[in-house]
């Protein structure tokens, strides 16, 4: 039953935001980030209700659905962006990989990695797209310095909330994650960040 409820929760978020976008002509930059944050919050609590294998199955299933949806333009709330990106497909794949390596024995590391991808990356992207003025262009993509600053600050807060100690790790972990996010293109941050974040959390704390 929990397995079905989790699938329904993620589906309601994706479909609900899609309907809101079509009804009120919302910006894709906003609806994409809202979907990103909403589904990630569901993912964070998944290990409390279902097994790691079930999380992996859900991640792989949603990756397939979103890939097909991209092909047929079913979800404009997350697919309707100008830049070339497969971030919406990489996100559930990143969840599946992180669950495979870190659950059930490293719950905090798993949740930390998901929060970095779900909150820091979404906030950094949203602020960068809305207010960014200083950009770096590479591989046909651009990243704003403003977005990276927000990503770092958000990651710093998340790191301290998860691991409230005064040590170099509290700064070095967000710094490594920020450099990684800044260097990734085509939505690969959604695939790499949760795994890297979880590895750093397990190794340094």
Cis peptide before 190 (omega within 30 of 0): no
Taking the CB of residue 171, how many other CB atoms lie within 10 A of it?
13
Rounded to whole angstroms, the Cα distance separating 146 from 144 reads 5
Q: What does the chain come to in residues? A: 205
On the question of pLDDT at 94 being above 90, the answer is yes
Q: What is the pLDDT of residue 115?
A: 98
Out of 37-41, 87-91, 176-180, which region has the weakest mean confidence (pLDDT)?
87-91
pLDDT at 118: 95
pLDDT at 166: 85
186 compared with 140, residue with greater pLDDT: 186
Domain hosting residue 156, numbered range:
2-204
Q: What one-character-per-residue DSSP string does 111-147 give?
A: HHHHHIIIIIHHHHHHHHHHH---EEEETTEEEEHHH
State the average pLDDT over residues 40-59: 97
The predicted model scores a pTM of 0.94
Question: Is residue 83 scored above 90 in pLDDT?
Answer: no
Angstrom CA distances, 74 to 11, 21, 69, 80, 183, stand at: 13, 12, 5, 10, 29
- How many domains is the chain partitioned into structurally? 1
């Amino acid at each position: 039953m929990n397995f079905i409820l989790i699938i329904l929760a993620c589906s309601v978020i994706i479909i609900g935001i899609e309907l809101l976008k079509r009804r009120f002509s919302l910006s894709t930059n906003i609806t994409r980030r809202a979907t990103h944050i909403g589904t990630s919050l569901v993912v964070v609590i998944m290990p409390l209700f279902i097994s790691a294998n079930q999380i992996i199955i859900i991640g792989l299933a949603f990756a397939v659905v979103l890939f097909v949806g991209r092909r047929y333009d079913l979800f404009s709330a997350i697919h309707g962006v100008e830049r070339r990106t497969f971030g919406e497909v990489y996100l559930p794949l990143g969840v599946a990989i992180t669950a495979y390596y870190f659950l059930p024995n490293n719950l905090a590391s798993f949740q930390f990695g998901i929060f970095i991808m779900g909150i820091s990356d979404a906030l950094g992207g949203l602020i960068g797209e809305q207010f960014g003025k200083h950009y770096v262009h590479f591989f046909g993509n651009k990243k704003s310095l403003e977005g990276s600053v927000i990503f770092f600050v958000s990651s710093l807060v998340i790191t301290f909330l998860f691991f409230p100690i005064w040590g170099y790790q509290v700064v070095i972990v967000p710094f490594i994650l920020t450099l990684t996010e800044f260097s990734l293109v085509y939505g690969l941050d959604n695939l790499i960040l949760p795994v890297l974040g979880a590895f750093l959390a397990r190794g340094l704390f």
